[in-house]
């Protein structure tokens, strides 16, 4: 979810102009970060945005300076929103980064307008060490520590954003998170394609890095009613 060109290269996909036809009836959403700056939320809603994930933090030091405008503004426009954390597992522990995230926007409430916190875990954009120098077992442990701290503080397990290639390479295609973590799959193609082990479907699918909505383009795998239930934790 960094620069669009880097994301496209990392995922090995090509950009799409429109949502895949097979998923056209599903609720549309997007995700934003400081790259999008101050977002025109009424315009996003008029273009069909039903939900958005807003970057709150990265590692244990970075806070999105546009977080307030993006997170609160989307809610005021009537868009369901949630916060995500960009993980840098080589910088500090999963517990440390989860605590920083929750303190700086990564909370949750069962109000029907707040998506569960999300963990963005993908190829290292700052180094050739794409798995951050961690072994597969240590990466799984880092993700588990992050998740345990998020659920301890918020009551919800985080949604896990990743792509299948990275998951196989850096966790050994670990299957243990699928039973109690929603999957947010990144794949720029006409279908979600193969999934990481342990998941039978993605709850969210990021299918393009540009389009009608600001930032990356996403779909929710269900109805608008199901999206609201998911936000409430049901």
Q: b or e along 127-151 (b: 16 or more beta carbons within 10 Å of the residue's beta carbon)?
A: eeeebbebeeeebbebbebbbebbb
Burial class (CB in 10 A: 0-12, 13-18, 19+), 113: middle
Residues pairing with 206 in the sheet: 186, 218
Give CA separation, 88 vs 71, 124, 129, 131, in Å: 22, 7, 11, 10
**Residue 136 contacts residue 182 (beta carbons within 8 Å):** no
Which segments within the chain are labelled E, that is strand?
28-32, 49-58, 62-63, 80-86, 118-120, 159-162, 183-186, 204-208, 216-220
Which of the residues are catalytic? 31, 120, 122
3-state secondary structure of 138: helix
What Cα–Cα distance (Å) separates residue 30 from each residue in 41, 47, 136, 153?
12, 11, 30, 26
Contact 158, 180 (CB under 8 A): no
Distances (CA, A) of 76 to 30, 56, 73, 79, 80: 16, 18, 5, 7, 10
């Amino acid at each position: 979810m960094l620069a669009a060109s880097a994301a496209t290269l990392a995922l090995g996909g090509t950009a799409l102009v429109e949502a895949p036809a097979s998923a056209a009836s599903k609720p549309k959403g997007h995700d934003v970060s400081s790259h999008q700056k101050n977002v025109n939320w009424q315009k996003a809603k008029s273009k069909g945005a039903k939900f958005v994930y807003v970057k709150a933090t990265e590692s244990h030091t970075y806070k999105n300076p546009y977080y307030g405008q993006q997170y609160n503004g989307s809610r005021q426009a009537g868009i369901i929103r949630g916060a995500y954390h960009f993980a840098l597992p080589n910088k500090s522990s999963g517990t440390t980064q989860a605590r920083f995230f929750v303190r700086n926007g990564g909370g949750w409430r069962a109000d029907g307008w707040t998506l569960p916190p999300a963990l963005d875990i993908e190829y290292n954009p700052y180094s050739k060490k794409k798995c951050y120098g961690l072994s597969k077992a240590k990466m799984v442990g880092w993700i588990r520590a992050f998740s345990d701290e998020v659920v301890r503080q918020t009551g919800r397990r985080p949604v896990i954003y990743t792509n299948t290639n990275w998951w196989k390479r850096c966790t050994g295609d670990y299957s243990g998170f699928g039973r109690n973590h929603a999957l947010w799959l990144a794949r720029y193609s006409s279908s979600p394609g193969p999934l990481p082990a342990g998941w039978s479907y993605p709850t969210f699918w990021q299918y393009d890095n540009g389009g009608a909505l600001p930032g990356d383009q996403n779909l929710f795998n269900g109805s608008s009613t199901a999206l609201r239930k998911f936000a409430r934790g049901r």
